[in-house]
Amino acid sequence: MARTHPEWKQALRRRPAPPLKEPVAVNTEFAGHCRVDGRVDGMQLQCQKVGERYYLYLGHFWSGGVSVVDATDPANMGVVAFIPVPNEHTWHCKVQVADDILMVSCEGALFTPTTDQAKAAKGVRFFDVRDPHRPVELSAWQGADPGFGVHRSWWNGGRYAYLSHGVAAGDYVYQGRRGTRVLTTVDISDPQDPRHVSDFWLPVQRGEGEQPAPWESFGVHEPVIEGDRAYVAYADGGFAIVDISVPEEPVLRSHVRTYPELTDGQTHTCVPIPERDLLVVCEESMVAFGLEGPKDVRIWDISDETNPVRITEMPIPEPRPEEPYDSYFHKGERFGPHSLHDNHQGKARITDRIFNAYMNAGLRVWDITDAAEPVEVASFVPAHPTEWADPRPYNRIADSFRGGTRGTCSQDVLVDPRGYIFLSGYNDGIWAVREL
DSSP string across 213-277? PTT-BEEEEEEEEETTEEEEEEETT-EEEEE-SSTTS-EEEEEE--TTTT-SS-EEEEEEEGGGT
> Does residue 321 fall inside a structural domain?
no
Q: What is the predicted pLDDT for the residue at 110? A: 83
Q: What is the predicted pLDDT for the residue at 207? A: 84
> Does residue 421 fall inside a structural domain?
no
> Does residue 71 fall inside a structural domain?
yes
Q: What is the predicted pLDDT for the residue at 287? A: 85
> Does residue 333 fall inside a structural domain?
no
The C-alpha atoms of residue 428 and residue 386 are separated, in whole angstroms, by 9
Cα→Cα distances 250→127, 228, 284, Å: 27, 10, 26
> Does residue 388 fall inside a structural domain?
no
Q: 322 by DSSP, 3-state: which?
A: coil
> Does residue 343 fall inside a structural domain?
no
Q: What is the predicted pLDDT for the residue at 169? A: 61
Residue 267 buriedness (CB in 10 A; 0-12 / 13-18 / 19+): buried
Q: What is the DSSP letter of 132?
A: T
Q: What is the predicted pLDDT for the residue at 56? A: 99
The C-alpha atoms of residue 344 and residue 189 are separated, in whole angstroms, by 19
Residue 388: partners with Cβ closer than 8 Å, 6 or more residues away:
40, 404, 405, 406, 427
Q: What is the predicted pLDDT for the residue at 8? A: 67
Q: Of 351, 346, 367, give the one whose Cα is nearest residue 422.
A: 346
> Does residue 124 fall inside a structural domain?
yes
Domain of 63, in residue numbers: 41-142
Q: Mean pLDDT for each 10-residue chunk of the chain (436 residues)?
A: 69 76 98 98 98 99 97 99 97 98 94 86 97 99 83 97 84 61 97 97 89 84 98 96 99 97 95 99 90 94 99 98 91 93 97 98 99 99 93 73 82 98 97 98
Q: What is the predicted pLDDT for the residue at 58? A: 99
Q: What is the predicted pLDDT for the residue at 397? A: 67
> Does residue 317 fall inside a structural domain?
no
Number of domains in the chain: 1
